[in-house]
Amino acid sequence: GMFAVQNNKRIGMTPRLDVYLVAKVWQFSVFVRGENLLYFLDQNNYETSPGHPIHNFTVRLGLRWRLFN
């Protein structure tokens, strides 16, 4: 995260919708995460703090496994 203290520019609420899906099979775990899905509805580029916009729609994929004897 990031914290910014300033009094010069006023920004409103920042709507954001993230979806997270995890599947675990035996010792493997896979995840898919979609970030900022509201971008498809209003196409606005909101800011988390002045001068730092939220990324447009992003998809993240991950894989985790556990090895044992």
Tens digits of residue pLDDT in 17-65: 888 899 988 888 999 999 888 888 877 777 777 777 777 888 999 998 8
Is the CB of residue 4 less than 8 Å from the CB of residue 44? no
Is the CB of residue 55 less than 8 Å from the CB of residue 35? yes
Q: Which helix (H) or strand (E) holds 39?
A: helix 39-42
pLDDT value, residue 30:
92
Question: Which residues neighbour 38 within 8 Å (Cβ) at sequence distance 6 or greater?
Answer: 15, 16, 17
Of the two residues 37 and 1, the one the predictor is more confident about is 37
The 10 Å CB-count burial string (b at 16+, else e) for 52-65 is eebeeeeeeeeeee
